Amino acid sequence: MSAPERFERLEATRIVAAPGALDEIDSPDGGRLLRLAPDDLLVLPPPERVEVADPYAIIEPEAGFSAAWFDRSELARLQAVSGWEFPVRCPEFAQGHLAGVPVKMLFDEGGVLVLVPAVLAHHLEERLGLGERAE
Amino acid sequence: MVLRLDCPHCGSRPVEEWVYGEVPDPPDYLTGAEERDVDRGFMMSNTEGARQERWFHAGGCRRWQTIGRDTTV
Amino acid sequence: MNEFIEAQVSFGWEDLRSSYDVVIVGGGGHGLSTAYHLATRHGITNVAVLERGYIGSGNSGRNTTIIRANYGIPEAVRFYQRSVDLYSRLEEETGRWIMHDRKGLLWLVHGTPGTRHERARSIVNQAFGADTVYVTPEEVRQICPDVDLNAGGGEFRVTGGSYSPHAATARHDRVVWALAEGAMKRGVHVHQRAAVTGLLKSGDRVTGVLTDRGPVAAGVVVSAVGGHVSTLAAMAGVRLPIRTHPLQAFVTNHYARSFRPIVASAGMGFYVSQTPRGEMLLGSAIDRQPSYSYRSSYEFLSYCSLPAVTLLPFLRNLTILRQWAGVCDMSVDMSPIMGYTGVDGFLVTTGWGTWGFKGIPAGGEQMAELIATDRTPELIAPFSLNRFKEDRLLFDPGSTGTTH
């Protein structure tokens, strides 16, 4: 069992703020910080409370993504359908197209978390052949 | 070989992830207001060679970036 | 290759003179057609066509050779129908076989807006002289049984289309050489490997060109350049509403059965026809970034093939043989630009985007008349560069056959 069956809706918190303020946020226990852009941060799972040193920061629940964990053994298969090089280091965060669908990928020791805009999740499932391979 | 662009935030990515953004660039010698408006609306330098362009990284960080590119390569 | 071609043209190549009445920059279809019509219609033969490479080596040799007049606006229908008529007489006129083949074009649509659009197209076409008719899915099946009207059961079910019996294809290098030969026989000079590097100016007036073989004075300089026109026009101080984009195409291996019509779907963004060799020739959207590069990409093959095999399932069994790219001068309103530029002594025929080949005979004929009479013929008056200043754009993106 290496590939997930399908993508599940992801709960997260989105913080849009001055880049300097985002730099200072610490990773919550067991949580993850995904830096989507210099002024844009996604926190998984949603923290109970978060301090941002920017009075104009926007902090909102983010429900627009679906996500699934893939085994590291699946990496070669994913790399084959992307036009860019996956990072070698770990943990590392990267964004780009996977099978023509925009995704965000968190490369970790244990596996790869793939985030996809929820409205495109079924396209990616189909293109990666998820749920079809009953081995 | 597909064209690749270097995103300052995400790294080198194929052009399919990007949206090209035209920037009007009326030349300095066009001084009349109407001339400049017509130029801004329709005309393009269409440079052959190196130039700076605006690109939107739709498939990644979703930010506008200024990227240098040689249009003859 | 040149020995073969030079043997076909039954006289020698002339040396470059220091002065001509007319210098045409660019030895592609439009430049040679302008020279041909200057010589044959107006007796003007003190003309030079200067070509940087060999004639037809630019977009004239890279396009998908479709000749049609099924445009969406009156000005374009009239102009392209003139070109369709001239093409059908070109073999007789030049005595050269250009492999002109009238095969008809099916333009398919997938849904109510497209259906409405094709009904409108057929009405506009008939009103301005083109024989396009609206067709139902059943008629589509009769004209081209290979089309999967269900489009694989997806969202691109064929709901109708328009059919243009006049549409044809011709062999592009034969067209170029028939025009070159016709012009040269009457005294026009065609110079290959003669690169124009600059313009000669006297005050604001353009008085000739600089070439890598020396300066050449000219009564009038005509840019029939494809791909690098903005650079040449900038030398004259002219700014153009043009962005140069690559357009890619590919052919498959030989398909044994005859595939008669040209089939296009603007909605799915591809068009296909069969070459005289039996190969299936496919084209699709322009590359989105402006570029002068001839690079081909795997991505193009994949995004062009998917809709093609969905609509024409037999294509699945074929193999792609080769692919290539040309660079297209896309005008902002997707219509050509012909005539005066506001700079004395400098004319353009440009903005031929992805629709240049079909315009070769009429474009050359009309430009020749403009040069000979110093008046813009009525047929191309709407296509002047001035239309952008005067806000009279000829916006017709739905008729270009590519997605923009």
C43 within a domain of the structure (yes/no): yes
* Nearest of C317, C247, C256 to residue C282 by alpha carbon: C247
φ, ψ for residue C356, nearest 5 deg:
-75, -40
C340: Cβ–Cβ under 8 A, 6 or more apart, which residues?
C347, C376, C384, C385, C386
Which pLDDT belongs to residue A5?
87
Are C349 and C224 contacting, i.e. CB atoms less than 8 angstroms apart?
yes
Mean pLDDT taken over chain C? 94
Q: Please check whether residues C6 and C57 belong to one and the same domain.
A: yes
Measured N-to-C along each axis, helices C172-185 and C360-373 cross at an angle, to the nearest 10 degrees, of: 30
Rounded to whole angstroms, the Cα distance separating C168 from C69 reads 10
Rounded to whole angstroms, the Cα distance separating C328 from C355 reads 9
Regarding beta strands C346-350 and C337-340, do their DSSP bridges make them parallel or antiparallel, or are they unpaired?
A: antiparallel
Q: How far is CA C257 from CA C276, C277, C278, in A?
A: 12, 11, 8
Amino acid at A11: E
Q: Please check whether residues C324 and C364 belong to one and the same domain.
A: no
Measured N-to-C along each axis, helices C112-127 and C74-94 cross at an angle, to the nearest 10 degrees, of: 60
φ, ψ for residue C311, nearest 5 deg:
-85, -30
**Structural domain boundaries, residue C133:** 100-168+243-331
* Nearest of C267, C258, C249, C259 to residue C108 by alpha carbon: C267
> In this complex, do C291 and B3 lie within 8 Å of one another by their Cβ atoms?
yes
Which CATH number characterizes residue C348's domain? Answer: 3.50.50.60
CB pairs under 8 A between A and B: 40
Which pLDDT belongs to residue A30?
74
Pick from C331, C359, C390: which residue ends a domain?
A: C331
Determine what percent of chain C is predicted with pLDDT higher than 70: 96
Following DSSP, what letter does each residue of C336-358 receive, concatenated?
A: -EEEE-SSTTEEEEE--TTTTGG
* Nearest of C356, C249, C338, C350 to residue C29 by alpha carbon: C356
Q: What is the arithmetic mean of pLDDT over C267-293?
A: 93
Q: Please check whether residues C56 and C176 belong to one and the same domain.
A: yes
Q: What is the arithmetic mean of pLDDT over C302-322?
A: 94
Q: Which of residues 29-58 of B touch C (CB under 8 A)?
A: 38-39, 41-48
Which pLDDT belongs to residue C7?
54
Which pLDDT belongs to residue A135?
47
Q: Is the ipTM of this complex over 0.85?
A: yes
Amino acid at C156: F
Pick from B2, B9, B18 the residue to mutate for testing the A interface (most A CBs within 10 Å): B9
Q: Please check whether residues C38 and C133 belong to one and the same domain.
A: no
For C174, what's the count of Cα atoms within 13 Å in the CB-facing half-sphere?
Answer: 14
**What is the fold of B4-70?**
Folate-binding fold (3.30.2270)
Q: Which of residues 9-68 of B touch A (CB under 8 A)?
A: 9-14, 16-17, 58-63
Q: Please check whether residues C252 and C368 belong to one and the same domain.
A: no
Which pLDDT belongs to residue C302?
87
> In this complex, do B61 and A37 lie within 8 Å of one another by their Cβ atoms?
yes
Rounded to whole angstroms, the Cα distance separating C257 from A30 reads 64
C84 within a domain of the structure (yes/no): no
- B51-71 pLDDT, tens digit per residue, is 999 999 999 999 999 999 999
Rounded to whole angstroms, the Cα distance separating C74 from C88 reads 21
Are A15 and A22 contacting, i.e. CB atoms less than 8 angstroms apart?
yes
Q: What is the arithmetic mean of pLDDT over C195-207?
A: 96
pTM of the model: 0.92
Q: Please check whether residues C303 and C249 belong to one and the same domain.
A: yes
A83 contacts in B (CB within 8 Å)? 2, 13-14, 16
Of A85, A95, A100, the CB nearest to B60: A95
* Maximum Cα interatomic distance, chain A, rounded to a whole number of Å: 53
Following DSSP, what letter does each residue of chain A receive, concatenated?
A: --S-SS-EE--EEEEE--HHHHHTPPPPTT-EEEEEETTEEEEES--S----S-TT-EEEEE--EEEEEE-GGGHHHHHHT-SSPPPSSSSEEEEEEETTEEEEEEE-SS-EEEEEEGGGHHHHHHHHTTTT---
Residue C239, classed as helix, strand or coil, is coil
Q: Please check whether residues C320 and C248 belong to one and the same domain.
A: yes
What is the least distance, in Å, from the CA of B33 to any CA of chain A? 38
| Token couple for C146 | 């290979």
Which pLDDT belongs to residue C314?
96
| Token couple for A123 | 């396209």
Q: What is the arithmetic mean of pLDDT over C398-404?
A: 69
Rounded to whole angstroms, the Cα distance separating C96 from C175 reads 9
C279 pLDDT above the threshold of 70: yes
Residue C10 vs residue C277, higher pLDDT: C277
C90 within a domain of the structure (yes/no): no
φ, ψ for residue C4, nearest 5 deg:
-60, -45
Q: Please check whether residues C349 and C205 belong to one and the same domain.
A: yes
Q: Please check whether residues C111 and C226 belong to one and the same domain.
A: no
Position C3 confidence tier, pLDDT thresholds 50, 70, 90: low
C77 within a domain of the structure (yes/no): no
Measured N-to-C along each axis, helices C29-42 and C172-185 cross at an angle, to the nearest 10 degrees, of: 40
Domain count, chain C: 2
Residue C171, classed as helix, strand or coil, is coil
Are C98 and C170 contacting, i.e. CB atoms less than 8 angstroms apart?
yes
B25 pLDDT above the threshold of 60: yes
Pick from C271, C302, C331: which residue ends a domain?
A: C331
C106 within a domain of the structure (yes/no): yes
Rounded to whole angstroms, the Cα distance separating B54 from B40 reads 16
Residues in chain C: 404
Rounded to whole angstroms, the Cα distance separating A95 from A86 reads 9
* Nearest of C247, C149, C181, C244 to residue C40 by alpha carbon: C181
Q: Please check whether residues C324 and C189 belong to one and the same domain.
A: no
C39 within a domain of the structure (yes/no): yes
C367 within a domain of the structure (yes/no): yes
Identify the residue whose tokens are 């064929």: C158
- A14-60 pLDDT, tens digit per residue, is 999 999 999 999 887 778 999 999 999 999 999 988 899 999 999 99
C325 within a domain of the structure (yes/no): yes
Q: What is the arithmetic mean of pLDDT over B15-22?
A: 93
Q: What is the arithmetic mean of pLDDT over C210-235?
A: 96
Domain range annotation of chain B: 4-70
What is the least distance, in Å, from the CA of B61 to any CA of chain A? 5
The CA-CA-CA angle for residues A77, A79, A80, to 5°, reads: 65
Which pLDDT belongs to residue C61?
94
Residue C264, classed as helix, strand or coil, is strand
Of B2, B59, B63, the CB nearest to A96: B59
Q: What is the arithmetic mean of pLDDT over C243-247?
A: 95
Q: Please check whether residues C181 and C224 belong to one and the same domain.
A: yes
| Token couple for C43 | 């007796």
C323 pLDDT above the threshold of 70: yes
Rounded to whole angstroms, the Cα distance separating C182 from C284 reads 33
C10 pLDDT above the threshold of 90: no
Rounded to whole angstroms, the Cα distance separating C115 from C134 reads 9
- A77-134 pLDDT, tens digit per residue, is 999 999 999 999 888 999 999 999 999 999 998 899 999 999 999 999 999 999 875 4
Which pLDDT belongs to residue C2?
55
Helix, strand, coil tally for chain C in percent (to 5): 35, 25, 40
A40 contacts in B (CB within 8 Å)? 61-62
